[in-house]
Amino acid sequence: MTIANVLLVDDEVSFVETMTKRLTKRNLEMSAAFSGEDALATLAANSLIEVVILDVKMPGMDGIETLQAIRQKYPLVEVIMLTGHATVESAIDGMKMGAFDYLMKPCDMDVLMAKLEEAAAKKHAHDQKITEARIKEITARRA
Q: 14 with 35: CB under 8 angstroms?
A: no
Q: How confident is the model at residue 15, as a pLDDT?
A: 93
In this predicted model, what pLDDT tens digit does every residue of 64-121 receive, in sequence order? 999 999 999 999 999 999 887 666 677 777 888 899 999 888 889 999 999 999 999 9
**pTM for the model:** 0.91
Q: Which residues contact 25 (CB under 8 A, 6 or more apart)?
A: none
Q: How confident is the model at residue 88, as a pLDDT?
A: 63
Q: How confident is the model at residue 87, as a pLDDT?
A: 64
